[in-house]
Amino acid sequence: MRMMKTIFGANSKLTRASDKELMLLVTKDNNHHAFRKLYERLSEKLYRFIYYIVLDESVAQEITHEAFLTLYDKRKMYRSDYQVSTWLWTIGRNKAYDYKKKKKEISIDDEILISLPNDDISTLQKLAQEASSETIKEALKLLPDSQRDAILLWMDDYNTKEMAEIMEKSEQAIKNLINRAKMKLKEVLEGRMESI
């Protein structure tokens, strides 16, 4: 009975722990349960981000797993002043672009739908909410890689500082990329909506 309380008690502590606290458990104690909790929290968003770089579901899944393995392998290099997600997104982004450099032809999967944050009711978001998944994917494909990465991170509620760290750019460069991406997406989505 005592063993059951210990297991369940540890599990609820992990559920309440921040990403940083979980990573410190992984770093110091090789705590596999903490690492699994990090994976559960972050893998879906990382997968979606990587998917829009490689445009292939199975490759995005593979790169997502590789990014987590790299995170684990390099766990001793973790510094507690860094956000875990920022470090992980940087690893995933680099792996995705390495893959993209190696492979020129990319297949497109039609099953991913982007959801935009509901709190900002900009014209871009209204148009995106009315557009189909396919229209959004086509519009995102028209963006340069850096603009697409910035807008996807913005849509996942990353702040400018975190995006700058992930993309290895200045905060001002990130703001410019987001503004240009919004303008381009608005233009493309308005054009598509008018033709419907």
Q: Give the CATH number of the domain where residue 137 resides.
A: 1.20.140.160
Last residue of a domain, one of 84, 111, 138: 111
- Euclidean distance between CA atoms 183 and 196, whole angstroms: 20
pLDDT in tens, 96-127: 999 988 875 433 333 333 444 444 445 555 55
The dihedral built from the CA positions of residue 149, 47, 70 and 33, taken in this order, carries a sign that is positive
Task: Please report the pLDDT score of residue 132 as a whole number.
Answer: 62
Is a pLDDT exceeding 70 seen at residue 6?
Answer: no
- Model confidence pTM above 0.85: no
Residues 107 and 118 in one domain: no
Domain boundary among 53, 80, 111: 111
Half-sphere exposure of 118 (CA within 13 A, CB side): 0
Radius of gyration of the chain (CA): 19
pLDDT digits (tens, 9 = 90+) for 119-129: 444 555 555 55
- Which residue, of 76, 111, 146, is where some domain finishes? 111
